[in-house]
Structure 1
Amino acid sequence: MNVDLAERAHNHNWKLDPIVRSLLDTDFYKLLMLQFIWKNFPDVHVTSETVNRTTHVRLAEHIPASALIEQMEHVRQLRLRKSELIWLAGNTFYGTRTIFEPAFLEWLENGFRLSDYEVSEEDGQLILRFSGLWTEVTMWEVYALALMSEMKTRAALGRLSELELDILYARAKTRLWDKIEKLREIPEVRISEFGTRRRHSFLWQEYVVMAMHAGLGASLSGTSNTYLAYKHDLEAMGTNAHELPMALAALSKNDEELHDSQYRVLELWQKNYGGELLIMLPDTFGTTQFLEGAPDWVADWTGQRADSKDPFVAGDEYIAWLISRGRDARSKRLIASDGLDVDGIIALHKYFHGRIRFSAGWGTLVTNDFRGCHPRGEHDFEPISLVCKLMTVNGHPAVKLSDNANKATGPEKEIERYRRVFGSVAVAGSEVVV
């Protein structure tokens, strides 16, 4: 890909380089979840908001609220192009050509809109809050995080000379290639690029994806970025996220419904999708309790994504559970996706190879690893942990317990109630870096 990143950064004009260029510039799972929500919960109202877990980085000091609003309004004006809709309708995703229903695509073209939002400043942080129908709010998540992440990047780029920009990107390219070379030594490894939401920039993510495609060949399964998959004829990767079980739990009328909601969401999902899209995410309220109480049919799902638990521990636990349910773990898939970098991916591949179909979702530390690349030794380009989480569902608080207590979200009283209902114990996991 012949793009002079340093020159482009030096002459940034946001109308030439808007941060979000297309409504497809989002994680593929958001589109799968949007269709699921549109079909099953079209009248549910939610609120969500962004949180910067890297609190020492005061985003309000780097990003003017007015400039963020200008970018947000640009996103609200975007519409899917005819060619993008034709691609969604006719392309094969996970071996299925009709994954998106014609009625959904028609609604996506003519009825879809993004919700209203508020921008506020609290303790040096910019907070984005969204409110409206779930179908209107859900897509903001990735757009908002990508906007804030790249605006932080652009502020730092603006403080460098053209020579310093050349040095910055030369170092980052060298670091990226060093990682790719390590992975090239293990042709059996399988990796998906998962780095949209906290990327350095769109142009850098595109460069990373094309470098991985050229350097890794078949080891690159695809990208979670739907627009890049569309533009470069790659596989679009992704299934579902914590948002779904959080919402169904919040809609529960009593403790029994609350406990069973983590399996109810799987029942609904498998009515809409199958095959490689049957990947469960059991850590929303604690992986161990989820597996212990799961109905037998859950073991027929294709695999599991390990997010907040140590992936070595989570993988062993999943394999043992499959064996106890009489399933062949070698036919199942294990996806690790939390804060991975190249050495961890290689270690996990070697550990699980031959025991289960292992693959890695490589995110922030491939699309935003500029650590140590600053030409003056400063830390302006280090990635931060930005998230956007559900806050309420039809007026009820939304909760996530996680396998890592540092990632728990929700009002403290509701967290206590959820721990009682699900029998989850607060476990202090690793520090949240990205």
Structure 2
Amino acid sequence: MVDIATRVYNHKWKIDPIIRSLIDTDFYKLLMCQSIFRNRPDTTVTFSLINRSRDIRLAELIDEGELREQLDHVRGLSLTRGESTWLRGNTFYGKRQMFRPDFMAFLERLRLPAYHLEKHDGQYRLTFEGAWPEVMLWEIPALAILMELRSRAVLRDMGRFELQVLYARAMTRLWEKIEALRVLPDLRIADFGTRRRHSFLWQDWAVQAMIEGLGERFTGTSNCLIAQRRDIEAIGTNAHELPMVHAALADDDDALRRAPYDVLADWQEEHDGNLRIILPDTYGTAGFLAGAPDWLASWTGVRIDSGAPEAGAEAAIRWWQERGENPRDKLVIFSDGLDVDRIIALHRRFHGRVRVSFGWGTLLTNDFRGLVRNDGLAPFSLVCKAVAANGRPTVKLSDNPEKATGPADEIARYKRVFGVGQQQPMQVVV
């Protein structure tokens, strides 16, 4: 097992690349990239960094030269032969050759495009613009780089023994969480923590701890590189990015209203089984379910990613019942702001009513709260979103208005088109 504290201590003496592989990314990005490569390869998209935690002044914590060096390193990466062989030949979700030869040829040639970086009011403005299948693959490495550089900045002045004690405490905390989860019957839980992890080494350690502590109840990781190295399942389906960009490209209100379902129609042509998971909250779960075509009710399940998770799951159960489907046969994946207490409460409420699963993110791979002075390693909410498509702004409403993105006038239009009424603001945990 890697001595994480020693590796962190040695970061002081030389630049250690944070991202060492193009598959150090989430599996859903590659699945979506293949769909986009097939259906929208010429769409120009802009991604932008959004720090929801404005009190974390990243441009004052992270050296610009070091950030540029890490970003430039990623631009020089390409798939290795072993990584390409794994993607081409491995079985994912029970399917061999998940990735088509033409897409793999594209991925093997790919080098990530240029970025634009500047400082403003204590924050970094980091943007990526270009062909959608290319720039979309910047999202995860950009977030991981910024999160880990922030961790390194906070840890820079710590000595060897202090670092050893810090990581011993963090390991103990995580193991206690794992022990608390062991009592849950039929638990299904995966690592979704790549984008806001403390570091790659820590995420890898957390995954190994989950493997040993939970056995078959740990279903896999969203991180492709760790999945490959640890010989476990790569987990992921689709994300808000798809309906956001498709909606931005809609020419009128009717096309806008259809966009979230058109995206899933494309997805259904490519995937079946556990990859047919609905993410209904991009423009409000209630409106999405009310207007959903009948064929969507036959899909495997839903992922609840914003708002009150209990309300989202109850809405899905009612919807399935109204459409003549048995909720006990359906999968509900909870993935928003999870920690042990919330996981236990949700499992107890829904176990036996649906097939319950959890995508555990930041508080699995980055829970150092209270372990350093001034709580300097507490996780915070940093995202990288598609903000424009072919020059048109994108919008995300979410079931939590605190997560809404887009120009105010477009947000108002989307709320009208999708029938979104009064929403209850909720604290964005991570």
Which category describes the TM-score, using the shorter chain as reference length? over 0.9
Taking the TM superposition and a 5 Å limit, the aligned residue runs for 1:11-410 are: 11-12=10-11, 17-110=16-109, 112-374=110-372, 377-410=373-406
Q: 2:421, 2:263 → 1: CA distance?
A: 22
Aligned residues: 430
Per-residue CA distance 1:311-366 (angstroms, 9 max, x = gap): 11111110010000000111111001001001111111111111111100000001
Cα distance change of structure 1 residues 268 and 118 upon mapping to structure 2, 3 Å threshold: same
Cα distance change of structure 1 residues 31 and 129 upon mapping to structure 2, 3 Å threshold: same
- The structural deviation recorded for 1:429 is 2.6
Q: 2:260, 2:172 → 1: CA distance?
A: 44
For 1:390, what is the secondary structure of its paired residue? strand
Q: 2:90, 2:425 → 1: CA distance?
A: 40
Amino acid at match of 1:297: W
Q: 2:13, 2:427 → 1: CA distance?
A: 35
Structure 1: where are the runs of 5+ without partners? Answer: none
For 2:374, what is the secondary structure of its paired residue? coil
4+ aligned runs moved over 2 Å, structure 1: 13-17
- Tell me if structure 2 keeps the 8 A contact 1:115–1:133: no
- The structural deviation recorded for 1:301 is 0.8
The TM-score with structure 2 as length reference comes to 0.98
- Tell me if structure 2 keeps the 8 A contact 1:406–1:428: no
Q: 2:392, 2:69 → 1: CA distance?
A: 31
- The structural deviation recorded for 1:34 is 0.6
Q: In structure 1, what is the equivalent of residue 414 of structure 2?
A: 418
- The structural deviation recorded for 1:428 is 3.0
- The structural deviation recorded for 1:187 is 4.4
- Tell me if structure 2 keeps the 8 A contact 1:187–1:219: no
The TM-score with structure 1 as length reference comes to 0.97
- Tell me if structure 1 keeps the 8 A contact 2:78–2:111: no
Per-residue CA distance 1:22-72 (angstroms, 9 max, x = gap): 100000000001101111001000111001111111001111111111101
For 1:378, what is the secondary structure of its paired residue? helix
Q: 1:121, 1:170 → 2: CA distance?
A: 36
Per-residue CA distance 1:190-241 (angstroms, 9 max, x = gap): 1010000000000000000001101110110000000000011010000010
- The structural deviation recorded for 1:15 is 6.6
- The structural deviation recorded for 1:115 is 2.1
- Tell me if structure 1 keeps the 8 A contact 2:12–2:156: no
Cα distance change of structure 1 residues 157 and 33 upon mapping to structure 2, 3 Å threshold: same
Q: 2:327, 2:252 → 1: CA distance?
A: 35
Q: 2:79, 2:174 → 1: CA distance?
A: 32
- The structural deviation recorded for 1:427 is 1.2
Cα distance change of structure 1 residues 273 and 248 upon mapping to structure 2, 3 Å threshold: same
Amino acid at match of 1:236: A
Amino acid at match of 1:398: T
